[in-house]
Structure 1
Amino acid sequence: MRDKTKALLLSLFIMITITLIGCSNEAGGTENDSTQGQEWGEVLNISVGQQPGILDPALTTATATHDVARAMYETLVTLDDNYEVIPMLAESFEMSEDGKTITFPLRKAIKFHNGEEMTADDVIASMERWMSISAQAQSDIPGAEWEKVDEDTVAVHLQAPSAISLYTIAEQNQLPIIVPKEIAEEAGAGAIEDYIGTGPLKLDEWRTDQYIKFVKFKDYQPRSEEPTGLGGRKEALADEIYWHFVPDESTRVSGLISGEYDIILGLPYDNVGQIQDTDGLKTEIWPYGMEMLVFNKQEGTFADQKMRQAINAALDVESILYASFGDEQFFELEHGVFTPEIKAWYTDAAKDKYNMQNEDLAQQLIEESGYDGEEIVILATREYPHFYSAAVATLEQLENLGLNVSLELYDLATMLDRRDDPELWDIFFTGWNTQFIPQGYSFLDSKAGWAGWTNSEKIDQYLDDISKAPTMEEASALASDLQEEFWDYLPIINVGLFHNVAGMKENVTGFRNFIGPLLWNVGIEE
């Protein structure tokens, strides 16, 4: 009798165990179909050129911050491969019939890196902080109020319906990250210093000028959907990820060839062929965004719109792109403020004003402006070689136009400081990654206060009209008018699209870029 009882209990125990394992896998657990049965290296070493100044992506638009912080922090909603809004920490979202309230049921049992569960109070505190510091939020959804509906639901109440409201809440310039309530309230308008998020990686160590070390967050709860864009299922495949700061390009390349690094970002264009020809290594090339010439429009030579138009009329942008990147596989001639895959906003408007190479028109505009030989200062840094090369190529073209031009070289931090003073420069080069609504480009917005000091009533009105459009059809219809005005006012010159390149070992799998490199679902296959 005792033997039968023991056998029955043993059978019952096995059945319960199998059931629990099955439930765990169905709930999302830590396994997914694409990685089951594979063995992954415990440590992933990534080498980059720039280090972040802060790790608070809600407070800065710096890509050096966003590239690492997105694996630590998450947002209510994000973007899929088609740049459409999808839920992340929200289970779903629902727009009211009048378009003025969006309700977000929250995912349950989501833990922060400190072990505490995320609550509606954390979400409200985080979103209210973001509203107070994000220029885009204040411009696109002014006066929006966040409400705790219940313990598992939040809502935002808009002053007026807006087709782009959800896109604003999925902003990628100043990320509306969700952090514990006490951290959001303590930071306020300042930088977060206690780095606690909900992402698949958590911060373990940050050594200035050396590296950031992340470790796998073992309590992370991935979504069940397939990975897409910045959303879907996310998994940390390596136990540790080191994000090494290596400003010298040759050192990064040598480290990849020697095996010190598994991935290097910002592979110099001149070394792409070398890495492709090296056994055991490969490259990944992906579109980044615009290479652009920025004018100082507050004072000096280019406060005059005709002088900006003169430069645009004269420039041979294809030559500048070749000087910057050396090979057309790394750039594209493209006039659009939006890339063709952003179908809601792409337009052929003002295509005739791109890459004109019309010296006669340029000279006419220079004469009409009254330019009298004033020095034109181009700021540059060698820390971004393709921007430096673009500056040198532009200097030569402007000198050939008869302008008095000088090039001032600085380290990146000094250059960024100097561009805040309108008395110290006239032109600098930078890049802007792909955006999914016009408001994502701060250089368009007079209220954004971005370097260059845009001040166009017409552009501001188009942005305002787009923000207030109740449907995407009505908002998209304004794209052509906005782009026409962009090429007339010229807050910047869109030189063209450029691509970024990463080098990596052949056994690196799952590496993707979407508005920057993604640190989840990537590992070293053993």
Structure 2
Amino acid sequence: MQRRTLAALAALLLGTTLAATSPAALAQNKTLKVVAHADVKILDPSFTTAYISRNFGYMVYDMPFGLDAKGQPRPQMVDKYTTSKDGKTWTFTLRPNLKFSDGSPVTSADVVASMQRWTAKDSMGRAMTALSAAEWKATDDKTFTLTLKEPFGMVLEAMSKPSGFPPVVMPERLAKQPTTKPIAEVLGSGPFMFKRDEWVPGNKVVFVRNPHYVPRSDAPNGLAGSKKPNFDRVEWLYIPDANSAIAALRKGEVDLVEQVPPDYINALRGDSNVKLMPSGAWQGFLVMNQLHPPFDNPKVRQAVLKAVDQDKFMAAMGYPKDLRVTNCATFFICGGRNETFAGAEPWRTPDVAKARQLLAEAGYKGEKVVLLVPSDITYLNAEALMAAQTLRSIGMNVDMQTSDWATIGARRAKRDAPDKGGWNMYVTVAGSFDADSPVTNAYLSANCGTSLPGWPCDKPLDELRTAWLKETDAAKRKQLLDRFHARAFEALPYISAGQYSPAMAVRADIKGVDKLWGGLPLVWNLDR
């Protein structure tokens, strides 16, 4: 009797296993495994500018507009829109039948509350409110309006902002929660649903298809068009050890590595089972604390700029020559839509002797420079070490203080003097979306009174930024952009350490990688 029971149980288990692994079952459970660049700690992309939270937002939320692969705003949740001749009144109509992942309808009240939350946090949203007294209003369930007292030249660009607080749409009851803490509940109308019951912080995040997602009929194009996924399930794995992550990719245990460590790029180029591609344009930043000596003096900041050899910084960070720009003399993105070299000529060529002279003329007295050095991110560590070498080459007294990136993230918010737990310089990087305009570039958009670490303040720069935002004529906007850029070299809110392209690696059997854009993991475009 016991043997018959065991045999029956074994047959049942075998049948279950075969059913689960049958072609039909596999087709219903296609899974994409991604090694994410960081661990997800904050699930609210309207609370933090962390790229991992932004990427999380794109999985579960949608936006009123989306940028296409040419950087042009296209309607996304919006079906149609109109604007008055004076540019002060905008009317938007939502696409029919939009729903959140719980099946509840998306209404204009949800969009209005989400836009109000966004304008309270984002640089473009705050600028729109400050300059044009933006007022959002729902007129019926599918229609909402934006009323401005003054025209704002970047309404559609703002509503399709791809990074650094993207204007995602969430239910009104969530959007109206205080902006002082992240929203814990996740409910969006995007292509995927977050599986909280399978979330393992520090290890894995799981998404499954949103059964209520309503895709656009037009083809995927950047962040615009249809986002209908081909995979039923997407797993984000956090594997901080680079050797383990690359080994998993080569063995086929994962399908995609979002950011390949620089020293693995050339090695993967010879692997026929892997496709390697540039992942957008990025810049290194040297951020200086302008509240305390010596970097409260713009002449000292300029002296450091004159010593910075961008190609050496990028080489130190490990990026091959074909993935870095030898010298990028713009605060924006070389090759980008706002590329300008106005005011750059005196600073294009590094000259240590000249930098020493400028430093002496600035009155530097040997003050200690506290440089924060991240220990756990290799390319940032290399950037910091190169910064120390550059500062010392012109005679600055450098005190390197090493800690993990999370600790630096907390310490850089302190306004205390460097000898009281504060700091003088830290290094970071930013993607093209967060560098390529006077308002999306965090340090160029930081007006006087900002809470941004480094606390840059230059009123002429503020005035030029405001004029650029208000101007609607393309030729005049270009003139203002050049004037703004030239002034930035005088005020020097930060120093660019150079431009590079990180790399993303995908298994060769994954299709749709040609539709990835801007370094964003747009996984709904992928298939096997």
TM-score, length-scaled by structure 2: 0.88
CA contact (8 A) 2:278 2:519 kept: no
CA contact (8 A) 2:69 2:517 kept: no
Aligned equivalents of 2:347, 2:160: Cα separation in 1: 31
Work out which of the residue numbers 496, 499, 512 in structure 2 matches 1:497: 499
Aligned equivalents of 1:503, 1:175: Cα separation in 2: 25
The structural deviation recorded for 1:217 is 1.1
The structural deviation recorded for 1:450 is 1.4
Query: What aligned pairs does 1:299-314 form with structure 2 within 5 A after superposition?
Result: 299-314=292-307
Work out which of the residue numbers 299, 313, 329 in structure 2 matches 1:335: 329
Q: Deviations over 1:63-108 (max 9, x none)?
A: 1111222121111112111211111111122221111111111111
Q: 1:150 to 1:515 in 2, by over 3 A?
A: farther
Aligned equivalents of 2:164, 2:30: Cα separation in 1: 32
Aligned equivalents of 1:228, 1:49: Cα separation in 2: 24
Work out which of the residue numbers 464, 476, 480 in structure 1 matches 2:482: 480
Name the amino acid aligned to 2:508.
Answer: E
Aligned to 1:127: 115
Name the amino acid aligned to 2:438.
Answer: P
The structural deviation recorded for 1:221 is 1.3
Q: Deviations over 1:224-255 (max 9, x none)?
A: 12221211111211111001111121121111
Aligned equivalents of 1:153, 1:192: Cα separation in 2: 26
Deviates more, 1:166-175 or 1:255-264: 166-175
Aligned to 2:191: 200
Q: SS where residue 464 of structure 1 aligns?
A: helix
CA contact (8 A) 2:189 2:212 kept: no
Work out which of the residue numbers 194, 202, 205 in structure 2 matches 1:209: 202
Q: SS where residue 463 of structure 1 aligns?
A: helix
Q: Deviations over 1:294-337 (max 9, x none)?
A: 11111121111111011011222221211112421221121122
Name the amino acid aligned to 2:146.
Answer: V
Deviates more, 1:415-424 or 1:443-452: 443-452
Q: Deviations over 1:195-241 (max 9, x none)?
A: 01111011013221011100011221111122212111112111110
Name the amino acid aligned to 1:192.
Answer: I
CA contact (8 A) 1:46 1:263 kept: yes
Name the amino acid aligned to 1:168.
Answer: A
Q: SS where residue 178 of structure 1 aligns?
A: coil
Aligned equivalents of 1:397, 1:183: Cα separation in 2: 47
Aligned to 2:73: 85
Query: What aligned pairs does 1:14-413 form with structure 2 within 5 A after superposition?
Result: 42-142=30-130, 143-171=133-161, 172-205=163-196, 206-332=199-325, 333-343=327-337, 345-413=338-406
Aligned to 2:427: 429
Aligned to 2:9: none
Q: 1:515 to 1:354 in 2, by over 3 A?
A: farther
CA contact (8 A) 1:293 1:493 kept: yes
Aligned to 1:34: none
Name the amino acid aligned to 1:360.
Answer: A
Name the amino acid aligned to 1:476.
Answer: K
The structural deviation recorded for 1:341 is 4.4
Q: 1:358 to 1:275 in 2, by over 3 A?
A: closer
Aligned equivalents of 1:153, 1:57: Cα separation in 2: 25
Name the amino acid aligned to 2:408.
Answer: M
Deviates more, 1:234-243 or 1:434-443: 434-443
CA contact (8 A) 1:46 1:261 kept: yes
Work out which of the residue numbers 448, 451, 464 in structure 1 matches 2:466: 464
CA contact (8 A) 1:164 1:437 kept: no
The structural deviation recorded for 1:515 is 5.1
Q: SS where residue 199 of structure 1 aligns?
A: coil
The structural deviation recorded for 1:454 is 0.9
Aligned equivalents of 1:408, 1:218: Cα separation in 2: 50
Q: SS where residue 54 of structure 2 aligns?
A: helix
Q: 1:326 to 1:182 in 2, by over 3 A?
A: closer
Aligned to 1:13: none
Q: SS where residue 66 of structure 1 aligns?
A: helix
Aligned equivalents of 1:519, 1:141: Cα separation in 2: 34
Aligned equivalents of 1:252, 1:93: Cα separation in 2: 45
Q: SS where residue 79 of structure 2 aligns?
A: coil
Aligned equivalents of 2:350, 2:112: Cα separation in 1: 52
Q: SS where residue 280 of structure 2 aligns?
A: strand
Aligned equivalents of 1:401, 1:66: Cα separation in 2: 39
Q: Deviations over 1:377-407 (max 9, x none)?
A: 2112133322211211221232222221122
CA RMSD of aligned residues (A): 1.9
Aligned equivalents of 1:401, 1:341: Cα separation in 2: 31
Q: Name the count of aligned residue pairs.
A: 486
The structural deviation recorded for 1:455 is 0.2
Q: SS where residue 128 of structure 1 aligns?
A: helix
Aligned to 2:14: none
TM-score, length-scaled by structure 1: 0.88
Identity of aligned residues (%): 25
Unaligned 5+ segments in structure 1 are: 1-37
CA contact (8 A) 1:40 1:237 kept: no
CA contact (8 A) 2:368 2:397 kept: yes
CA contact (8 A) 2:101 2:189 kept: yes
Aligned equivalents of 1:393, 1:45: Cα separation in 2: 35
CA contact (8 A) 2:275 2:507 kept: yes
CA contact (8 A) 1:58 1:177 kept: yes
Aligned equivalents of 2:216, 2:280: Cα separation in 1: 27
Q: SS where residue 459 of structure 1 aligns?
A: helix
Q: SS where residue 110 of structure 2 aligns?
A: helix
